[in-house]
Structures are given as C-alpha cells and as structure tokens.
C-alpha cells in the first residue's frame, strides 16, 4: 500500500471520527439546553422572563440540520447514524418546546407578556 493511500485512509477515518464527535456534542448541547429551559420554566412562576426564549433557536436549528443532513447522507451501518438521529430528535424537540411554551403562554419575553394582557 502506498503512503499516499495510507494517509488518505487515515484522513478519512479521522474525518469520520471528528464528524461523529461533532454530532454527539451537538446532540448533548441541545439536550442540556432543553433541560435548562424546562428547569427555568418550572421555577419561574410568573410566566414571563427577561430574555427571549427564542434565542435558543440559534442552537436548535443548526443541531437539527446537522442531524438531518447526517441521517440523510450516511450509510445504514455508519457509526454516525445514531448520534445523527439523536441530534435531529433533540433539535426538533427543542423547537417544539419553544413553540409550546410560547403558544401556551407559559414562558414569554416580558414585552410579549404585556402585549398579550397577562399582567
């Protein structure tokens, strides 16, 4: 086996390993953010907050896209398949959680809370 081919194989393995770790960390980040939002929501009895919960979309949307692209473009037996499914699931669950909290008037930015007549 030539040195060039050997390096190409090692490079591909490293790329797959880095991609797998990126997907795993993305899924973990989304999961921890969901837990943080739920914890904050449970301890917040007022229904309003000083920050905009939709800022979490900056995490949930990229995590969902990373998961989606890796689910669509990986082979069946790839070790990236399960972490990609988890990333997609946690990303979508986070988005749905934010929409639910907004639509149920459970956790709103203060300005929106006032506009909806909640005081």
Question: Residue 75 has what pLDDT?
Answer: 74
C-alpha gyration radius of the chain: 19
In DSSP terms, which residues pair with 48 in a beta bridge? Answer: 108
Residue given tokens 């980040």 in the structure block:
29
Residue given tokens 């669950």 in the structure block:
93
Distance, in Å, from the CA atom of 99 to the CA atom of 94, rounded to the nearest integer, reads 9
**pTM of the shown model:** 0.84
57 or 13, which is more confident? 57
DSSP-derived 3-state class of residue 49? strand
* Residue 110, CA distances (Å) to 53, 86, 104 in order: 11, 33, 15
Answer whether 4's CB lies under 8 Å from 65's CB. no
* pLDDT, tens only, 7-52: 455 667 777 777 888 899 999 999 999 999 999 999 998 888 888 9
Question: Residue 5 has what pLDDT?
Answer: 58
In DSSP terms, which residues pair with 109 in a beta bridge? Answer: 49
User: Of 1-5, 27-31, 37-41, 83-87, which range is least confident?
Assistant: 1-5
Question: Residue 97 has what pLDDT?
Answer: 97
* pLDDT, tens only, 59-80: 999 999 999 998 898 877 777 7
In DSSP terms, which residues pair with 2 in a beta bridge? Answer: none
Question: Residue 62 has what pLDDT?
Answer: 96
């Amino acid at each position: 086996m030539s040195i060039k081919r050997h390096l190409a194989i090692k490079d591909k393995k490293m790329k797959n390993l880095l991609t797998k770790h990126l997907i795993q960390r993305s899924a973990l980040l989304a999961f921890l953010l969901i837990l943080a939002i739920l914890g904050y929501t449970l301890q917040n009895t007022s229904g309003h907050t000083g920050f905009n919960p939709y800022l979490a979309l900056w995490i949930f949307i990229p995590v969902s896209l990373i998961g989606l692209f890796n689910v669509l473009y990986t082979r069946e037996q790839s070790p990236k398949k399960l972490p990609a499914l988890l990333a997609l699931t946690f990303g979508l669950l986070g988005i749905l959680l934010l929409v639910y909290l907004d639509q149920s008037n459970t956790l709103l930015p203060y300005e929106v809370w006032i506009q909806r007549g909640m005081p």
